[in-house]
Chains A and B, each alone.
Chain A
Amino acid sequence: MSVTDNEAVEEITGRYVHITVGGVDHRVYFEENGPEDGIPLLCQHTAGCNNQEWRHLLTDDEITNEFRVIAYDLPFHGKSVPPTSQPWWTEDYTLDAKQFAETIVAIADALELEDPIYMGSSMGGNITLELADWHPERFRALIGLECGAHSPGFYIDWLDHPEVNTSEVNAYSCWGLMAPQSPEQTRRETMYLYEQGATGVFKGDLYYYSVDHDYRDRLDDVKADQCPLYIVNGEYDYLTTPDDGRETAEGVGDGAVAMEMARIGHFPMSENPELFNAYLREILDDITGKREGKLPDVIEPDDVGVELTPTAPTEQKTESD
């Protein structure tokens, strides 16, 4: 699959679904592709972003032939506007673990998904620990991309400050989270998506990510033995490193598997979709029982037959620089 090799009219469809979280109605936008009776693969975007991060998975027919891929915008993100019944503007947007997990389960329930696989990156990866703790019966498997027990230090005031161009800074604070081997085109697209976030939403999500989420002393509560948990972290993710992922999986124990993705970073599905989708197929095959043998500790581009493009720093430089 090539990320530029798309049909004239893509098969993705977008709709809205109403969910109730904390007694409040939310209108949630979601996009999907794949057979109605396919295995649901529910995809959560990263903090401050939206479901467009998954657009290259939604058009990967090697995956959508079998799986019903669904990617949604959390409330306050993308096309999921704030709740119409609430004076939401009177307080800062702040996401906590309870509200985040409840929202994901409410979306799965509202769409009547049977044994869905959940997958999310960054804050969407961390929440797999809460989901396996609180709702192990609701999911067939959990894929925590860039997942860790604790990810401190990113609840930063400058990401929501009147004297800083926050739409730009929110994007560029993510630049180094991506691997230099990822194509510049898709790294730039990832940051473009970040520039679309509403003021304060990225920082509000990071309250969950860097403050509220702390499973360092609670890994025993994570019931991966009831719901398989894949902790899959990119080599270039400096927030939750592959070693952090291994430690978290070891702490959880039975049912938890850690795998390092080589030459990719914190936004795998959007910074290098071709490589990530190839890595993901190995994990999905493991979940569905098609794969023989254990997943490797480290998976490399060669393992999945993907050739990396020239590094972006070279491409960035021109004679006129």
Chain B
Amino acid sequence: MTVRGHQQFDENFYLEIGDERFLVQMDGGRIDEVVPNPGLNDEWSFGVEGSREAWEQFVEETPPAFNHEIIASHYRSAVRNEDDHLMLTGNNKRIFQNLRAFQRTLDLMRPTEGGS
């Protein structure tokens, strides 16, 4: 599926899943590379952090309420101070400038019907 504007998504971001961290390098709306354990030589604009349990809920085919989308999860963490939801970090302006494509990238982490 080609979506207007998504080819402009060039901001790298990281995913922190429990104790593990992965850098997702974007290039023209496509994932160029996923780098485990990114370090000082790498560059990113923002990230998503959460426990493994929170991520497991997030990627369910039909996720439970409040872990079903990143802004939903972040709100329960950042505003309501609840545990076990994902949380956004980093440059908020970059997040909102790329919100639509970023949300879709995270949605694509979910399994397809009959797939993985």
Contact = CB atoms under 8 A, between A and B. Distances in A.
B71 interface: yes
Instruction: Report, as a range, how many residues of chain A touch the other chain.
Output: 20 to 34
Contacts of B70: 176
Interface stretch (B16-24, B34-42, B105-113): B105-113
Contact of A314 (B61, B63, B68, B78): B61
A185 to B, nearest CB: 15
B99 A313 contact: no
A168 B101 CA distance: 11
B66 A238 contact: yes
Given A152-B79, A317-B112, A163 B93 contact: yes
Contact of B103 (A172, A179, A181): A172
Contacts of A235: 65
Contacts of A172: 99-100, 103
Main DSSP-derived SS at the A contact region: loop
Nearest to B69: A176
A10 interface: no
Nearest to A262: B65
B76 interface: yes
Given A172-B99, A314-B113, A317-B108, A239 B75 contact: yes
Report which residue of B65, B71, B107, B108 has the largest number of chain A beta carbons within 10 angstroms of its beta carbon.
Answer: B65
B61 A311 contact: yes
Which 8 A-B pairs rank lowest in CB-CB distance, beginning with the nearest? A176-B69, A153-B79, A176-B72, A158-B96, A238-B72, A311-B62, A236-B65, A176-B71
5 contacts: A163-B93, A172-B99, A177-B72, A316-B107, A317-B108
Interface of B: 1-2, 5, 61-63, 65-66, 68-73, 75-76, 78-79, 92-93, 96-97, 99-100, 103-104, 107-108, 110, 112-113
